[in-house]
Chain A
Amino acid sequence: MRALKGRLFRPVLWLLLLLGLVMSLSLMIGGFSFYPSEFIAGLSTQQQFILWEIRWPRTLLAAVIGAGLAISGVALQALFRNPLAEPGLIGVSSAAAFGAVFVIVLGGALWHEVAVWQISVAAFLLASLSTAMLYLIATRHGHTDVALMLLAGVAFNAIFGALTQLLITFSDDAQLRSALFWMMGSLANLSWFSVGMVSIFVLLASLGLWRLVKSMNAFLLGENVSLQMGYDPKWFKWQVMGLSALIVGVSVSMVGVIGFVGLVVPHIIRLWVGADHRLVLPLSALGGAILLVLADLFARQLLYPAELPIGLLMALLGGPFFLMLLMTKRQARLSSVQRKRL
């Protein structure tokens, strides 16, 4: 068995190269495209402005949010011991979105000015609350009922979706536009300051989750087994719920609901390197960053000059992927049944 560093080195290198590539593409391609030769010749003031004030913050934000969403997917999948747990799918993102819209629409009436941090706090609170509720509903005696988890997710999505719609019907035109645009997910028009704030929170929460990789591995064997192996399952559960809700809440409050990153990326990474979280977590972070930077590039360029909301694009890509996942699961189950009959 090779040491961890040895097993991480090559995949990390590959993904870093790929990330570098997609980030360069994202920086260069757009309404105004740069060519490598222009970088050498020197950029005009206008070009520098576009590069530094528009492209860089947006590309970094995509990378950070992609990484964060993938990590929160990994963490929730360990908590529920199931590869289908994903913040969007189990309703955590819609809860966060409801919290944010609540503040956008009603906060304006109460405090006149709505600060971004208020939106973030509301999104975070609803995200943690829904995670905790979902865990209570779907998990009995340390055993998660997958069907119950997904069905509760359907219910959460319906309830919070409806509540959000309800708020929107009460909102004025300006609120409506900002709420709608933001619900479909968008990385456009964010300042360096917002990028910095999101990055700090996502980074801290990710480091917090990185400390738990060994307990995540043990937790896959069951709550009791993780205790027998020396990890405190209660404390572990609170940390995972809180930290993943922090990532989802902060991301949702900044860029809206972007689903499926936390489902698609960890799944592919597991097929590649196995289920060990010490590999899956960092590699998923890189994979999530790559996926979202790439998706954002497509969202900007596909229907240029119109911009496709990235949340829509991810749902269009991720939905079929999810179906495919279910089909292969079904196939595997059928073939194992056949094997047992033989």
Chain B
Amino acid sequence: MATLSSIQVIDLEVKIANTVLLSDVSCEFQAGKIYAILGQNGAGKSTLLQCLSHEIPSSKGSILWNNRSLSEFSYSKLAKQRAVLPQSNELAFSFTVEALVQLGEEVVQRSHKEASNTIDAVLNTCDLIPLRHRDYLTLSGGEQKRAQLARVLAQIWPSSPVKEGGGIFSDKWLLLDEWTAGLDIKHQQLLARYFKQWAAQGLGIIMVLHDVGFAAQLADRCLMLKDGKVFAEGEVNQVLTQSILTEALEMQVQVSDDAQTGRPMVYPRLSF
């Protein structure tokens, strides 16, 4: 059994133009699990994700990717191990959905047959088969999001048969920044089911989310940030409690236990 892929963040600090965005952040991510990063606007969620994907440098601390410093990896090597869905996407030129997905697929060297299989598979996963020849610029916001997600998935889609000792996604990571934003509930649930399956097959998934209720049902572990620091970290049951949510997110909420799943049920409340 191969050792599981892991990412360790040690005493991370990020300072940009004298503003401290993250400080003293330490945490660990293991492949095969789904992690939710939660926090208010400006808590540093996206910054942490960008550090993990090696987009912005840290001013202190380090990130270890499989026990090796992240800075030892070349961009092209990293691109084959992890794919990132950014919060917002820009594309000013007209690409068909299929051509867009192909851009992600080409990051990996595959045979022609494997490549077209991969493209078909990710289009199917994101429910884009009927839209595959449409111009990306004419799609709705949610459809564009799914097309980008398909591009991102194509980058790490397994092309070889199951590796020994691991799942078909082992050593691969998926970093998602607010992937649910703009998606309808049907596709959120559809993709959430896939994420669960792929995590079981060895994929590590780290997602920034705002919907605490959704995180409570999907994530294995939660990382709660507040003002650039780790406020709480642990299993969903440990983090998504009434007191932590009230304090870290300053939300009005009621939390109860779901006897069926053993997960917390989170009800945000409006009081007028």
Contact = CB atoms under 8 A, between A and B. Distances in A.
A294 interface: no
Contacts of B155: 229
A224 to B, nearest CB: 6
Contacts of B95: 220, 274-276
B107 A230 contact: yes
A228 B116 contact: no
A191 to B, nearest CB: 40
A218 B104 CA distance: 8
Contacts of A227: 53-55, 75
A218 B86 contact: no
Interface string A296-339: 00000000000000000000000000000000000000000000
A82 B76 contact: no
A230 B77 CA distance: 7
A81 interface: yes
B98 A220 contact: no
A228 B84 CA distance: 6
Contact of A274 (B96, B106, B107): B96
A3 interface: yes
A229 B107 contact: yes
A276 B99 contact: yes
B89 interface: yes
A1 interface: yes
B78 to A, nearest CB: 7
Contacts of B222: none
A107 interface: no
A231 B54 CA distance: 12
B22 interface: no
Given A83-B93, A220-B91, A222-B90, A228 B53 contact: yes
Contacts of B93: 81, 83, 220, 270, 275
Interface residues of A, number: 24
A32 B76 CA distance: 57
A1 B113 CA distance: 10
Contact of A228 (B55, B77, B106): B55
Contacts of B104: 229
A230 B90 contact: no
Contacts of B54: 227
Interface string B29-52: 000000000000000000000100
A81 B94 contact: no
Contact of B80 (A3, A218, A224, A230): A230
Nearest to A77: B93
A83 B112 CA distance: 30
Contacts of A83: 92-93
B96 A82 contact: no
B206 interface: no
A228 B90 CA distance: 14
Interface string A215-249: 00110111011011111100000000000000000
A214 interface: yes
Contacts of B106: 214
Contacts of B77: 230
A82 B55 contact: no
Interface in B190-226: none
Nearest to A278: B106
Given A1-B115, A274-B95, A230 B102 contact: no
Kindly name the residue among A218, A229, A231 whose own CB sees the greatest number of chain B CB atoms within 10 A. A229
A177 interface: no
B162 interface: no
A222 B100 CA distance: 13
Given A1-B98, A232-B75, A275-B95, A143 B103 contact: no
Contact of A221 (B75, B96, B103): B103
B90 to A, nearest CB: 5
Nearest to B87: A224
A14 B20 CA distance: 58
12 contacts: A1-B102, A1-B119, A220-B93, A220-B95, A224-B50, A224-B86, A228-B84, A230-B80, A232-B75, A274-B95, A275-B93, A275-B94
The 4 closest A-B pairs by CB, nearest first: A230-B79, A275-B93, A230-B76, A228-B84
